[in-house]
Structure 1
């Protein structure tokens, strides 16, 4: 947690300690670790699974993509449940889903059962991707909300690296792929047990009229340093509730079309669509294929892919540190511009060199620059921005729409990448992704408001006023 700064770990302005909220954030972010681990583990497990179950290429694709289908479903339903029953119980349930999915995958007697297990794991991932950022945003103080919500992305990248390590360590073990899947049950159980000890979101409690309980939770999260600050924060929540932020009992999805909500939904959903359409996950999923197409040998391509993973992990804390200093909008706009240049450079390199080895390492450099920009900007803010923008009364449901768009675009882009690469070639494919990144830059400048340093209630008031 060095990125929080030693001064802020002990005090956060006004005498309020950050230690309690960091503890809550670390437990909640275990959902991000499970997200990353269960997404990344299939890369090492698939080769052995193919031989054990005699999978065809289509069968392997079904096993891999099942988790994305489950994630779409999980993202679609989790927010509505969280708006009804609270963030904490739904996250506890997600931990149970992760545990069941890990056990089912480890014990799967057939490809069909393994596919079902991956669907179950996807439900957990969709729920976690939806609610962990919301929960973190609602418990964090405004001044440090960006980096605390960004902790979710750091844990996702850490989970991916853990999956790669497990894949390597168990590659030659008997039933190694079963252990790869089964190990995920350990952090899942820790996540569930930890969330049982965590408080409910104080903002959800205040929305439901449980004012004294919300006060007690805020006092626990902010520490004993400044009771007046707790009272002021609680008063802002109460004012928001009295000002029309009562919970929506029916028609939550219809509420997303309301005039005061539409700009926030446009910003949140548009960010997910353009962010995924930029090709970021195709580089993560298919990096060896990209490097081979640029002229690298297979062993060098795998080594370069490990480097990409390390860059992704190491650059994420840089973005966490910057997001509350620079601001969400400036950080994303600058990052999208660098992503555009990096992909344009990759397209130009592939067009000039084809598969000639002398152009391979410049292509690798462009990919590394792209991943560094993504890790420090897009991947940090992609969960932060929507978790801050939506009104409290429909925040969970709005996040469902947002993350459903994210997972749907992830699925479509991953499904079409190899087809585009074969039909158009690398140069044209990455030129198209560069154009999307340029559109993301313009979209950020025009449609995404700056939320740095503002309370969630301030943001809601500003959006309501247009």
Structure 2
């Protein structure tokens, strides 16, 4: 995958091949530090799965307020995504991530010591601001630092760390519940663990560089070259600088970079495709498993203890394994568009299988384990073909000067859809049962496949600058 290649389009700039050296290790270190934001994202969204039951008893939650505790974080995430999209453009990716680390810590502190729902809901909202901000900032930061040949693998590490954070939350919840389950307020211990990666992210980001592409957009060319020299060989760094500078100059001459660009057909097409992709990712119903997995398995026929163990062992571990396979086997070898559409076909098929099992199989242990197996396959397909490629695609689809705004708008809709489905799923499960709930996801999946087939461009195999030139010409394939 590493070879000299002339950049297609109008630039005519040849990028030298990647070569091993200390710069590669530096880039990997940056990715490790930045993805602590993804770890916090995963842990905070997954920890409620096991903490909710003891929290309900301690804070006296009803089914209505239980939904509020879950949805409040997601509403905060929607606000955080939109706000941090603009912060990324104005303050830079590095400074935004540093601020988010502080917000993660403050939100965790508030939730851990919340004496009642009146304090818990604002604390969860603050955590949501940080989760949404991280979901926008980390993928863009990694995509803009990564070379074309490693962009999928490097940017996709964030999604691997997110599902690892969710698995970690499941494991920590199970361990704490078994050791201190009889302690009053045991859920507070589960939430408190989140403070550790928040501190690591804050300290680590103080030593990390800014995105070179953001620096160029602010006319800080010398600073941008200095950053690229840290993570590339000198010849490669200077060639990439020339490519990005040329495109930035073309954007400036064309007076691009404002919200008024949404009147331009190709920009509007990209925004519609990205927003649609973000909504579609949530319409798979993946968060019905991540947030309510224990309750879901109890509904399928498991007792509470077995459901807790099965929830960590099957959906949790399957997600991590599939993400690893995606990163090291698929993401930079299979076109993003093909991978994403295939993923929606697979997850929609799993939804149909759950509906059939719930409708036609008699109640009992066999039915419970079959549904558990299909849920495991669903999570595996989701992480193998959708979660990593979707987040990578969103981070690379937009032109440079609209990347923060566009990513923020798309992820805003992702979190809003997440909030609606998270609040509505327990109600849907009570009213329609397992079969009815997943029938809704099945129908939504069919609509999503049709939309993406028509609208989704392929974003793999080319530099961010080459993609922008192709899209500007109306070439979305």
TM-score, normalized by the shorter chain, greater than 0.5? yes
Equivalent-residue separation in structure 2 for 1:104 and 1:428 (angstroms): 37
CA distance in structure 2 between the partners assigned to 1:257 and 1:409 by the alignment: 25
Distance 1:254 1:141, change over 3 A: same
Find the counterpart in structure 1 of residue 6 from structure 2: none
Q: Choose which of 282, 285, 298 in structure 2 pairs with 1:279.
A: 285
Q: Give the equivalent residue in structure 1 for 2:19.
A: 15
Deviates more, 1:170-179 or 1:455-464: 170-179
Root-mean-square deviation (CA, aligned residues, Å) is 2.3
Counterpart Cα distance in 2 of 1:50 and 1:288: 14
**What is aligned with 1:87?**
93
Which residue of 62, 67, 70 corresponds with 1:64?
70
Q: Does 1:346 align with 2:354?
A: yes
Map of 1:384 onto structure 2? 392
Equivalent residue for 2:380, pick from 361, 372, 378? 372
For 2:57 and 2:438, how far apart are their aligned partners in 1?
A: 33
CA positional deviation for 1:247: 11
1:91 to partner: Cα distance: 0.9
Cα distance in 1 for residues equivalent to 2:192 and 2:339: 38
Shift of 1:16: 4.9
- Specify which of 146, 166, 178 is matched with residue 172 of structure 2: 166
Deviations 1:239-259 (A, max 9, x none): 111111589899x54444432
Aligned residue in 1 for 2:186: 176
Which of 429, 447, 451 in structure 1 is aligned with 2:459?
451
Q: Does 1:203 align with 2:213?
A: yes
Residue deviations 1:18-75 (CA, integer Å, cap 9, x gap)? 2221111111110000001111222333333333333333233222222111111101
Shift of 1:174: 5.7
Q: 1:245–1:392: 8 Å Cα contact kept in structure 2?
A: no
Matching of residue 290 in structure 1 with residue 296 in structure 2: yes
For 1:99, what is the secondary structure of its paired residue? Answer: helix
**Residues 380/396 of structure 1: CA separation in 2 closer, same or farther (3 Å cut):** same
Distance 1:30 1:262, change over 3 A: same
Give the distance between the partners of 2:252 and 2:51, measured in 1 at CA: 47
Q: Which residue of 1 aligns with 2:120?
A: 114
1:281 and 1:458, CA in 2 relative to 1: closer, same or farther beyond 3 A?
Answer: same
Q: How many residues align?
A: 453
Residues 58, 185 of structure 2: 8 Å contact kept: no
What's the CA shift for 1:176? 3.1
Shift of 1:403: 0.6
CA contact 1:344–1:430 (8 Å) conserved in 2: yes
Tell whether the 8 Å contact from 1:208 to 1:247 is kept in structure 2 after alignment.
no
- For residue 318 of structure 2, the aligned residue among 299, 311, 332 is 311
Q: Paired residue for 1:258, among 246, 259, 264?
A: 264
Q: Do the aligned partners of residues 14 and 71 (structure 1) sit closer, same or farther apart at CA in structure 2, a change above 3 Å counting? A: closer
Q: Residue 320 in 1 paired to residue 327 in 2? A: yes
The Cα shift of 1:413 comes to 1.2
Q: Is structure 2 residue 203 aligned with structure 1 residue 193? A: yes
Q: Which portions of structure 1, spanning 4 or more consecutive aligned residues, are displaced by more than 6 angstroms?
A: 246-250
C-alpha distance in 2 between matches for 1:45 and 1:188: 19
Q: How far did 1:278 drift?
A: 1.9
Corresponding residue for residue 8 of structure 1: none
Partner residue in 1 for 2:12: none
Corresponding residue for residue 157 of structure 1 = 163
Separation in structure 1 between the aligned mates of residue 217 and residue 61 of structure 2, nearest angstrom:
50
5+ residue gaps, structure 2 = 3-15
Report the equivalent of 1:234: 241
Instruction: Confirm or deny that 1:329 pairs with 2:329.
Output: no
Q: Aligned partners of 1:261 and 1:348: how far apart in 2?
A: 42
2:39 corresponds to:
33
Q: CA deviation at 1:115?
A: 1.6
What's the CA shift for 1:460? Answer: 0.8
Alignment partner of 1:78 is 2:84: yes
Does the 8 Å contact 1:277/1:433 carry over to 2?
Answer: yes
C-alpha distance in structure 2 between counterparts of 1:315 and 1:288, whole Å = 21
Task: Calculate the TM-score normalised by the size of structure 2.
Answer: 0.89
TM-score normalised by the chain length of structure 1:
0.91
Q: In 1, are the aligned partners of 2:111 and 2:191 still within 8 Å (CA)?
A: yes
Distance 1:68 1:439 in 2: 24
